[in-house]
Amino acid sequence: MSLRLANPRNAAAGTLKMQDSAIVAKRKLEAFLYFLYGEDLPFKTHWESLQAVKSWGFRVNDAARQCKDLEEVKDFINKWEHERHNLNFEIDGIVIKVNSYQHQRNLGFTAKSPRWAIAYKYKAETASTTLLDIEYQVGRTGAITPVAKLQPVALAGTTVRNASLHNADQIEKIGLRIGDTVFVEKGGEIIPKIVGVDLARRPENTAPVQYATHCPECGTDLVRNEGEAKHFCPNEDGCPPQIKGKIEHFAARKAMDIEGLGSETVELLYNNGLIKSIADIYDLTKEQVVQLDRMADKSAQNLIDGIASSKQIPFERVMFALGHTLCW
């Protein structure tokens, strides 16, 4: 039986992480090289380097083209906006690059990307479905994020059930009502978002969505500071998602890097009353932890050892773990 994977991006990423090389081989992943890195390369242009890479036996996308002016660039964009659906792999746009290596060096880079290349994104695939409800999630900072609960719909290789609505202003701008038929697309082909409402299919006797006034977790009145888009729950010391979120952030790899203290373990410790704040982590004992469900002797010891090791973490990471940015 052949295996059909709905989402190429997730399939490729998951395959590369697999431990079983036999399964990886069966997936028959292919790669197109799009850039050649190196010092003192014997090429003056990007195009020359791609042709060399191709002559060496590596795969280079045959659709790549040299364009002599902006009109040819526009023609290339327009061509692939329609023909991309005939490819045996998915693309969401094209990349336009300056060909000359000397010009690339002169233009340089920003903090995140080269100044000599720009991505042109095609309009994202859109699907329509029904807005069933809006739920409100609480982050570790107390920020409230409304989430649209949708009738499941297939979109860009995945089944979409939820979409972020960001804040009250967006809900008002779109004019959402429960029961609406909404248009959903994936921002950057990854994150589902609602981009509009099919007013012709709006049910009768519906009312505009009234944004939450109280925290869905602890019931505290929400606040919205002047000039800010989001609502917040101010009960940072008594709101469970905020407490657990702060602890998870504190223990994360880029922060205190406490082995064994992931989200499930934080949930377990919190629900059993063993931690109510970050400080409580350092009062934990193996005897307390080993009595919990799914906590064997070795897991409990690894957690205690991880907590002890975190005391050697540099000060700047402690500041980050506590939710601060350290500036010099």
Q: What is the mean pLDDT of each run of 10 residues along the chain (328 residues)?
A: 63 87 88 89 94 94 93 95 86 92 94 93 89 95 95 87 92 94 82 91 92 96 92 95 95 93 94 94 94 89 95 93 62
d(CA 237, CA 212): 21
- With residues binned 3-state (H G I as helix, E B as strand, rest as coil), the percentages for the chain, rounded to 5, are 35, 20, 45
Specify whether 103 is located in the same domain as 58: yes
Judge whether 189 lies within some domain.
yes
Judge whether 85 lies within some domain.
yes
Residue 107 CA to chain centroid, in angstroms?
30
Residue 74's CATH number: 3.30.1490.70
Q: Give residue 186's pLDDT.
A: 83
263 in helix, strand or coil?
Answer: helix
Specify whether 219 is located in the same domain as 162: yes
Token reading at 251:
């223990």
Residue 130's CATH number: 2.40.50.140
Q: Give residue 95's pLDDT.
A: 95
Q: Give residue 189's pLDDT.
A: 59
Q: Give residue 71's pLDDT.
A: 96
Q: Give residue 281's pLDDT.
A: 96
Q: Which domain holds residue 307?
A: 240-321
Token reading at 184:
């959903």
Q: Give residue 174's pLDDT.
A: 92
d(CA 162, CA 211): 17
| Tally of domains in the chain | 3
Q: Is the pTM of this model over 0.75?
A: no
Specify whether 152 is located in the same domain as 229: yes
95 in helix, strand or coil?
Answer: strand
> How many C-beta atoms surround the C-beta of residue 241 within 10 A?
17
